[in-house]
């Protein structure tokens, strides 16, 4: 918990386009997101990104696609060196409170045991299975109900 004391969670805006793109390219090779896609996530009303900062440095982020009272998690990512100390949980909890939606949904690969553990630990429940959702695997559809 002490390690988390200096971590700040902030909503990003268009001024952060280069920062978040560079962070993603440098640290995340498992899921491709282009600069144009980040531009969309930062400029369209239905999307939003929250990032975790250690001082001035981005160390993780979460991208949402929002509609009125619900949202989908498009992606969540934490830099390897900062994993397993609660950064993603903090990102999720603070952004979720700010978004103030009743339900959160996501798809996660059957193979991504770490992410499944992470979502389960954060009270998401499996509500469905999507066959062949990913190239090499099926996906769980999970939901967090905040009612």
Ligand X SMILES: CC(C)(COP(=O)(O)OP(=O)(O)OC[C@H]1O[C@@H](n2cnc3c(N)ncnc32)[C@H](O)[C@@H]1OP(=O)(O)O)[C@@H](O)C(=O)NCCC(=O)NCCS
The answer to whether 133 touches 139, Cβ cutoff 8 Å, is yes
- Give the one residue of 19, 53, 66, 86 binding ligand X; rule: CB under 6 A: 86
Stretch in the footprint of ligand X (CB under 6 A) among 1-9, 33-41, 80-88, 124-132: 80-88
Query: CA 23, CA 21: separation in Å to the nearest integer?
Result: 5
Residues between 92 and 111 that touch ligand X (CB under 6 A): 108
Distance of closest approach, residue 78 Cβ to ligand X, in angstroms: 4
Stretch in the footprint of ligand X (CB under 6 A) among 3-11, 39-47, 75-83, 94-102: 75-83
Q: Which of 92, 104, 103 is nearest to 9 (CA)?
A: 92
Q: Please work out the total of residues on this chain that contact ligand X, with binding judged by CB under 6 A.
A: 18
Q: Which residues of 96-110 are buried (b: 16+ CB within 10 A; e: fewer)?
A: beebebeebbbbbbe
Q: Is 8 in the site for ligand X (CB under 6 A)?
A: no
The gap from C-alpha 84 to its chain's centroid, in whole angstroms, comes to 15
Stretch in the footprint of ligand X (CB under 6 A) among 5-13, 63-71, 79-87, 127-135: 79-87
Query: CA 19, CA 128: separation in Å to the nearest integer?
Result: 35
Residues that bind ligand X (CB under 6 A): 75-78, 83-89, 108, 112, 114-115, 117-118, 121
């Amino acid at each position: 918990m002490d390690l988390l004391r200096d971590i700040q969670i902030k909503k990003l805006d268009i001024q952060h386009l280069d920062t978040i793109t560079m962070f993603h390219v440098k640290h995340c090779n498992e899921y491709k997101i282009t600069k144009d896609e980040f531009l969309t996530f930062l400029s369209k009303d239905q999307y939003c990104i929250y990032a975790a900062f250690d001082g001035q440095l981005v160390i993780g982020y979460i991208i949402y696609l929002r509609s009125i009272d619900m949202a989908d998690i498009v992606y969540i990512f934490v830099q390897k060196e900062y994993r397993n100390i609660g950064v993603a949980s903090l990102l999720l909890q603070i952004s979720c409170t700010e978004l103030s939606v009743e339900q959160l949904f996501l798809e996660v690969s059957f193979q991504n045991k770490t992410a499944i553990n992470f979502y389960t630990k954060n009270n998401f429940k499996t509500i469905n299975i999507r066959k062949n959702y990913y190239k090499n695997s099926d996906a769980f559809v999970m939901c967090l109900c905040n009612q």
